[in-house]
Chain A
Amino acid sequence: MGEPDRPAHLLDEAAGGQAVGARPGRADGLRPRLPLRRLATAQPTPAALALAAILAIVAIVTPAARTYGGTTLLLASFIPLTLASIAQMFIIAIGDIDLGIGQFLGLINGIAVVLLPAHPALGILALIGGVAGYLVMGLVVHLRKAPAIVVTLGASFVWLGCALLLLPAPGGTAPGYLVRAMNLTPPIVPYPIIFFVVLGIVAVLLLRRWRGGKIIRGIGGSPSGVRRAGISVGWGVLAAYLLAGCFAVLAGLAISGVATSGDANIGTDYTLNTIAAVVLGGGQLAGGKVSGAGTVLGALVVGLIGAVLAFLHIDAAYDFAAEGLVLLIVVSLRLLGSRRAVLG
């Protein structure tokens, strides 16, 4: 069927070059905004600044962290958190929230430690089952119009129960290839840094370049707008949950490689941390607005807060308070900034 000709009347005198009466600019209407202003109002900026501040503190206080080995040691433990935060990001993008991801990581950890070494085929099947579990949650949320909070929270008990079946007590050993994968030593640049950059790029591409990412963000902001464009909201929801499931499984495998052993409760703190990471990175819980790069940066900020407190010899009990404080400050600043934009 070939592309029908664009009606000639639509490509009349206006198409010649400059549109009549339009402000001077490029023919495609994408007016370049001042680079500095774009940078200042970009979503990931607050997280990036917070991260820079934290890294500066760490570098000053602990010279050992400035070495290749020190950096790797410090940052490698955050790889699972960044992966899990990206999973959470897709759920928040669609306008939902995942309260079960922490427990899900424990389940994947159990599969990695108990099934993968002895029965690899069964283990892989179980991992696929994990992703399918996320799809099922997505179906329940969309088809039954059930609130995601309830569905994911309920699922968290299912994940925990299954994890405990596999690992009644902490123990076991993660497969060698997982451990090695978490301990690569590329030349010059520490492995975690390369990982975070690649992950950030992948997340940004999925959200901004891939059509599905636009649909997901559209649904988060206005499901009716997406429907009016003739697109099925259901497929978008399922795509978001599918992506979240995949990244959550990867996070579970990563955590197994980092911890090298298994514990059903290994991911307990992760749920709230991933939410904090997404919000710090510029995401809004109402849905629609999330940032791929921001989420990775936010996860690093969340992870490093604990490290900073340790380096400053502050009691670890203040970890949560410090994290909450940073979150409050960043979100308040962002609210102030956006209100000024609305009023001004």
Chain B
Amino acid sequence: MAATDPGGGQPTALLRARQLAKAYGRVTALAGVDLDLAEGEVLGLLGHNGAGKSTLVKVLAGDVRPDSGELEIRGRQRDRYDPPTSLREGIVTVYQDGSLCPSLSVLENVELYTRNAPGLRKVTGRRLAERFETVLSSVFPGHGIDLRAGTGSLGPGQAQVVEVARAVLALRGHGSVLVLDEATAALGPERASDLFGWIRGQRGSGSLGVIVISHRLGEITGQTDRTAVLRNGETIFTGRSAELNRDQLVELMGGSARPSRGRRTGAAAAAGGKDDVVSVRGVRCGPATEGASLALRGGELAGLGGLVNQGQRELLDAIFLAGTRRRRGVEVHGTVAYVSGDRAARGVFPGWSVGDNMAATVASTLSRWGFLQRRRIQEFVADWMTRLDIRAADPGAGIGSLSGGNQQKVLIGRAIGSGASLLLLDDPTRGVDATTKAVIADLLLDFVAKGGSCLWYSSEPEELLVCDRVYVLLQGKVSATLEGAAITEQAVIGSSFAA
């Protein structure tokens, strides 16, 4: 069934969003998103990291209020809009990370959810169980789930099955919207195809609209009617899915084919060291059972790419832990230092001063008889603050007084200053201004030029162009290894998505 243009009269527009904008402080999440969803239509939503997909979903679900822009549901403007209202309006969202309460049984989770759903308010107990079982079996035949079981005992695929089924149960009779935010990944291929089969079956009645966000380009091109591509918080393209191919989509998402600047000559890189500083073989960091494998030599700057939450952090954590204790599949030679981009939770010590944060790794080497040598620490801190160009700040000030970018510089300085030979970085440039990003890149280049090795995860493909080699992770395995001139934004983005 072909999708017709919305606004052409028939069929009715379920959703109409114009110029939605949302900023969190200095970070712009949405810069002007337009969206149309017609009755009976399946719309695919695509975008790389930071494109604005998650924020858009939250706006539609009522979790987040846009700063400006219009949102119309079935032709009526919505102002006071919160999650219970969106559910009552028939907009049902399934997320990729668990929304179930582990302390409740499957049926109890369904009961909680359906209370706000139109028409299900009074349905409880045995009647609700019957209805839910009906929906479960019609969307996912042969599911084998015991409704009285505790949610904590469900396998990961089963939990997602429950979430999708309860969302389907909550759909209104007419004019509902089902939003699947990366919901198909956790379902597994069999169940995902069950779900799409059911969606195809709904087209006959023509009243359900579906929005699909997925990292599987095949799902987008094959299972949707139209596709919208987001980039930098804007809708930059909408078109019929049947007419789109993979390369077009990748290019639209921001992949330029410009090759890297060719950081170093082959000879210089080889002179860095012949032995592997770190070797990883088949380490599981996601759903893929074969795990990820990579290797790094001295003097190499390797990048990790891919969509967020594909196992990059788990891989970095595994390598870091292998530095201090034995771990199967990971061999690390030399000392390891970790720089986290999640500064508040995994990086800075919030109660300490800038100087104390900076010197945290070397304090013990700069001490005598267990007592800190204040003067030596001060010299160390002063030296690094100059190198990192944080001159303006007072080392005695609390670390919270520094901007995000400067805090990140402190964390990198602390890591390099510790004398480690391997640096692991988990998206350090998140939320950091452009100038500081350049400074950070220079720091890393300088580090590897002196013989150190670096494994750097960045959610922005553009930054990885300076690397010697880039491993793109997808669902916990390496989907592509790019070397030298082959490292382009387009290649990184392209291999971030499954076929």
Contact = CB atoms under 8 A, between A and B. Distances in A.
Contacts of A28: 126, 129-130, 133, 147
Most chain B CB within 10 A, of A6, A287, A341, is at A6
A30 to B, nearest CB: 6
20 contacts: A4-B119, A6-B131, A7-B207, A9-B205, A10-B134, A14-B138, A21-B141, A22-B144, A28-B126, A30-B107, A30-B148, A33-B146, A211-B112, A214-B111, A224-B99, A228-B83, A229-B112, A229-B113, A230-B83, A341-B153
A19 B204 CA distance: 22
B102 A222 contact: yes
B103 A31 contact: no
Given A4-B118, A22-B141, A231-B115, A288 B205 contact: no
A221 B102 contact: yes
B98 A8 contact: no
Contact of A217 (B84, B86, B104): B104
Contact of A222 (B100, B119, B168, B173): B100
A110 B111 CA distance: 43
Interface string A210-230: 010011011111101111111
A163 B146 CA distance: 51
Contacts of A145: none
Interface in B318-376: none
Given A8-B205, A211-B115, A21 B102 contact: no
Contact of A7 (B102, B131, B173): B173
Name A's interface SS.
loop
Interface string B113-144: 10110110000001001111111111001111
Contacts of A4: 118-119, 172-174
Contacts of B138: 10, 12, 14-15, 19
B139 to A, nearest CB: 9
B141 A9 contact: no
A11 B205 CA distance: 13
Nearest to A225: B101
Given A23-B144, A214-B112, A230 B87 contact: yes
Interface in A199-245: 211, 214-215, 217-222, 224-231
B134 A19 contact: yes
A5 B205 CA distance: 14
B95 A228 contact: yes
Interface in A295-344: 341
Given A214-B112, A230-B84, A29 B144 contact: no
Given A30-B126, A231-B112, 5 more contacts: A4-B118, A4-B172, A20-B142, A211-B111, A288-B102
B84 A9 contact: no
Contacts of A222: 98, 100-103
Contacts of A225: 98-102, 109
A29 B129 contact: yes
Most chain B CB within 10 A, of A5, A11, A12, A14, is at A14
B145 interface: yes
B489 interface: no
Given A4-B174, A31-B146, A228 B99 contact: yes
A211 B115 CA distance: 10
Interface of A: 3-12, 14-15, 19-23, 27-31, 33, 211, 214-215, 217-222, 224-231, 287-289, 341
B112 A22 contact: no
B41 interface: no
B403 interface: no
A226 B111 CA distance: 11
Interface of B: 82-84, 86-87, 95, 98-104, 107-109, 111-113, 115-116, 118-119, 126, 129-138, 141-148, 153, 168, 171-174, 201-202, 204-205, 207
Nearest to B114: A229
Contacts of B119: 3-4, 6
Nearest to B94: A228
Given A29-B147, A211-B115, A225-B98, A218 B103 contact: yes
A221 B129 contact: no
Given A10-B138, A30-B147, A229 B116 contact: yes
A217 B118 contact: no
Contacts of A6: 119, 131, 173
B218 to A, nearest CB: 25
Nearest to A95: B103
Nearest to B152: A221
Contacts of B134: 10-11, 14-15, 19
Nearest to A218: B101
Which 3 A-B pairs rank lowest in CB-CB distance, beginning with the nearest?
Answer: A288-B103, A221-B103, A19-B137
Contacts of B202: 9
B472 to A, nearest CB: 30
A132 B144 CA distance: 47
Contacts of B116: 229-231
Nearest to A216: B103
Contacts of B108: 214, 217-218
Contacts of B100: 222, 225
A91 to B, nearest CB: 15
Contacts of B145: 29
Contact of B135 (A10, A31, A33): A10
B99 A27 contact: no
B190 to A, nearest CB: 12
A214 B83 contact: no
B117 to A, nearest CB: 9
Most chain B CB within 10 A, of A7, A8, A225, A288, is at A225
Contacts of A9: 201-202, 204-205
Contacts of B148: 30-31, 33
Contacts of A289: 103
A296 B99 CA distance: 32
B150 to A, nearest CB: 9
B80 to A, nearest CB: 14
Contact of B141 (A20, A214, A221, A230): A20
